[in-house]
Chains A and B, each alone.
Chain A
Amino acid sequence: MAGQVFAYIKHAQGVADDSAKELVMAAKKINADAPVTAVVTGSGADLDKVCKDMTAFYKAVWKIDNAALAYPNGEVVRKALVNVLPGDAVVLLPHDTFGMDLGPGLSIKMNSSFIADIVGIEGLDGGALKVIRQEFSGQVSTHVSADISNGAVINVRSGVFQADDSIGGANGQLEDKSAAAGDLSAKRKYLETVQAAVGDVDITKSDVLVSVGRGIEEQDNLELIFELAKAMGADVSCSRPIVDAKWLEKSRQVGTSGQTVKPKVYLALGISGSFQHLGGIKGNPFIVAVNKNSKAPIFQVAEVGVEANIIEFVPELTAAIKG
């Protein structure tokens, strides 16, 4: 049998992240009958507000209040969690830059299993939890059976376990665990956060996006994309590798580490469709995928798919539009 289930609540400016509700849904899939406890770290009035909000969704809410936790520094949060949580805790985290930073080391410190980026939960089988994760650029779903009898840290992919109305009205009990947090000194010192630079085009406002990925092969070929965009009355966006190569500015990058866009039409040209990329596309647009690899995950979410080399296909489409 597995230990008590905890969900770590990410929040900022007194507002809980979307993952706060998604983790309740994930926890129910692990064991529908087991109570789930929210763990909220932070400081002051913002923390109190989030804790209060969470009592609507969690039967128990553990508050850890400390000035050192005012900003979620992974090293400090880890110390607090290790000191407060029971040794066999099953801890759910969002699989984002915070969860990826915290989760792996937390599991080692707690001597428990770690499962990264789960996209499905098939249920408990004794002390084993059966989950699904994705490998090989999202082309393969891997079914994993993890021994969680000594506890576990499980990172849950954002947006997969969508919250529904079944989780409200929990009327949870708030417990202040601040005294148990212990020594929170750290070798990692948080200084400040800085917003991303603004570019010349605001792709978050575009209705039609022609988005280019690694399939473009060479920087000179980008001209083909701009010609198509011009013919369509669209703006040009891109996936991360194009920005990494410094071929387009960061402000044109669609994805969790770039911009979140909500166009009506999204033409994904030579983009494989990693979950980080898809995480930046909201509003249920009409997605067209053009890729020479028929296994590319982008085809899993596309309304229309074209298996083709974009360098050949794009000029044909541009010519067709121009008539």
Chain B
Amino acid sequence: MNILACIKGVPEVEDAVAFNADAPDVIADASINLRLNRFDEFVAEASVVLKTRFPGTVIDIVSVGPENAKKAIQRAMGMGADAGYHILSDYSQSCDAVYVANCIGQFAGFRPYDLILAGVMSEDMMQSQTGPMVAQRLSLPWVTSVIHVDVRPDQKTVYVERELEGGIREMIDVTLPAVLTLQSGINEPRYPSISNLIRAIDAGVETITPESLGVVEKKTAMITGYSYPEKTREGLILEGTIKEKALALLKILREKGLLEKNR
């Protein structure tokens, strides 16, 4: 089986955002440090689990992002993937799901993947777009928010369970090849092994330009500015030492009658 695992390198919020007095600003540039998107750790783990179950499986990692995204690719390879492909873009392009899906779609279109996996969303943009958009680019069936995967290669199908509101599980059969986005908690991601990390660095990550894939940027949505989210409540912020804050909170809860009388 051939698996493509789509991952993203994301910044820590405090590195990417300047919390200015009037309004925040996203200051991410080429120098920003990126790490593996938490939701994509589940993608790398699921791929490796499938490889263990179906010997001969090959796992490719692909990511669209700036130079520093390479570290996220290497980390995913360190969990047990076979090859890494880095489609070079700047950080803001890596946050444009249409662009990213075009890149991954063009990349994957030339290769015989049975299963394409992506995280349910990225921690920074939280759009949940890339996976289903890649599916449409490749005219493949897709399922999002997947919390259980059972591939049946002999039947050319995959049985999945997706999680709906209230923890309801929806059971689905999909024909292969297919695109799945994995919800967090589907597995328990392992730490990369030193030997796999060394192998990942030795094997290298192949860098690909969007131009070589024939992808041209065509933005339909522009960011015009940033602001702070509105507070729905003007909360009281407690001051003082930890102990003073604890006592102040207890006083408020008791005064408002929010604790049982004997407490």
Contacts and interface: CB of A to CB of B under 8 A. Distances in A.
B140 to A, nearest CB: 8
Contacts of B132: 100-101, 103-105
Contact of A115 (B140, B183, B221, B260): B221
A74 B170 CA distance: 12
* Most chain A CB atoms below 10 A, which of B142, B144, B223, B249: B249
A31 interface: no
Interface residues of B, number: 80
B174 A187 contact: yes
Contacts of A130: 224
Interface SS of chain A: helix, strand, loop or mixed?
mixed
A113 interface: yes
A246 B259 CA distance: 30
B169 A196 contact: yes
A167 interface: no
Contacts of A253: 167
Contacts of B168: 193-196
Contacts, number: 250
Interface in A136-154: 136-147
B257 to A, nearest CB: 9
Mostly, the B contact residues are mixed
A320 interface: yes
B173 to A, nearest CB: 4
Contact of B258 (A134, A186, A191, A265): A265
Contact of A246 (B127, B188, B227, B260): B188
Output the residue of A140, A143, A194 with the most chain B CB within 10 A.
Answer: A140
| 10 cross-chain pairs, A with B, having the tightest CB-CB distances, nearest first | A196-B167, A244-B185, A187-B141, A316-B246, A105-B136, A108-B136, A191-B171, A116-B127, A146-B221, A104-B132
Interface of B: 13, 16-17, 19, 24, 26, 97-98, 101, 123-133, 135-137, 140-145, 162-175, 178, 183-185, 188, 220-233, 235-238, 242-243, 245-247, 249-250, 252-253, 256, 258-260, 263
Given A113-B220, A116-B97, 5 more contacts: A137-B123, A259-B167, A265-B253, A301-B233, A321-B263
28 contacts: A74-B142, A96-B165, A97-B145, A97-B162, A100-B145, A101-B132, A104-B128, A104-B129, A104-B132, A108-B133, A116-B126, A116-B127, A139-B17, A140-B227, A140-B228, A143-B224, A143-B227, A144-B223, A188-B141, A188-B172, A194-B169, A196-B167, A196-B168, A257-B145, A260-B166, A312-B242, A321-B259, A321-B263
